[in-house]
Amino acid sequence: MLEPRLDPADAEAVFHSQALKREIKRIQGIIERFSHLTRALPVQRQPIDLPRFFADLRSAWAGLGNGLQVSVDLEPGTVLASDRELLAQVLDNIVRNAAESGAGHVAIRLRRHKGAVEITVGDDGPGIPAEQLKSIFDPFVSFKPSGSGIGLALARRIVTRLGGRIEATSVPGQGAEFTVVL
Ligand SMILES: Nc1ncnc2c1ncn2[C@@H]1O[C@H](COP(=O)(O)OP(=O)(O)OP(=O)(O)O)[C@@H](O)[C@H]1O
Ligand SMILES: [Mg+2]
């Protein structure tokens, strides 16, 4: 947009123009994610083919880079009827955070629990200090230099919409664990 008018020899102008473009892209991303936080959430509940669901997610997570390993432990016979896309978004936000924290391994477990399905997502990253843990699900709370604080607020909104709950625990230095009960 700007570059064709710039003198390519003017390295400083090109540098600033590129920085501006990156900034515009970042802000566009925030606006798009923000709109997810406020948009209506129509729910389409249907039986989820869990092995396939996790196979698809794991191949998407393989693209996150930094060699993150994601293991999935499905208790045999676990059945879940929920909204596939919304649940995928919740798990994706949780796993992305683990990757961004520097974790090398994420362990996902599905269990039947008192007539519900409990999904735990544990990582081996640095964990979350107790004073931060209180607010991580609040919108726009981020402890990252360039985070927008939308991921977990959206995850909580979706899980509530699906009739479930989400919680986090952490022993700093020993990783974080998120539990979604549906
Ligand atoms: N697995 C984790 N390990 C360590 N800290 C975490 C983990 N998950 C979440 N957090 C902390 O919780 C905060 C809130 O997470 P959330 O996903 O809502 O926002 P974000 O990742 O900072 O920004 P966004 O998701 O919008 O890109 C993060 O900034 C981070 O400090
Ligand atoms: Mg996030």
Q: Supply the pLDDT for residue 2.
A: 57
Please tell me the number of the ligand nearest to residue 141's CA: 1
Nearest one of 19, 182, 175, 13 to 107, comparing CA atoms: 175
For strand 69-74 and strand 105-113, is the pairing parallel, antiparallel, or unpaired? parallel
Q: Supply the pLDDT for residue 1.
A: 55
Give the chain's end-to-end CA distance (angstroms, integer): 47
Question: pLDDT tens, 95-132?
Answer: 999 999 999 999 999 999 888 999 999 999 999 999 99
Q: Hey, which of 132, 136, 137, 156 would you mutate to test ligand 1's pocket, going by the most ligand atoms within 8 Å of its Cβ?
A: 136
Q: Supply the pLDDT for residue 7.
A: 84
Closest-lying ligand 1 atom to the alpha carbon of residue 33 = 26
Q: Supply the pLDDT for residue 137.
A: 98
Q: Supply the pLDDT for residue 33.
A: 82
Superfamily name with CATH number, domain 45-181: Histidine kinase-like ATPase, C-terminal domain (3.30.565.10)
User: CB neighbours of 16 closer than 8 A, spacing ≥ 6?
Assistant: none
Q: Supply the pLDDT for residue 38.
A: 87
Cα–ligand 1 centroid distance for 85 (angstroms): 21
Cα–ligand 1 centroid distance for 47 (angstroms): 30
Residues of the chain with pLDDT under 70: 1-4
Cα–ligand 2 centroid distance for 71 (angstroms): 20
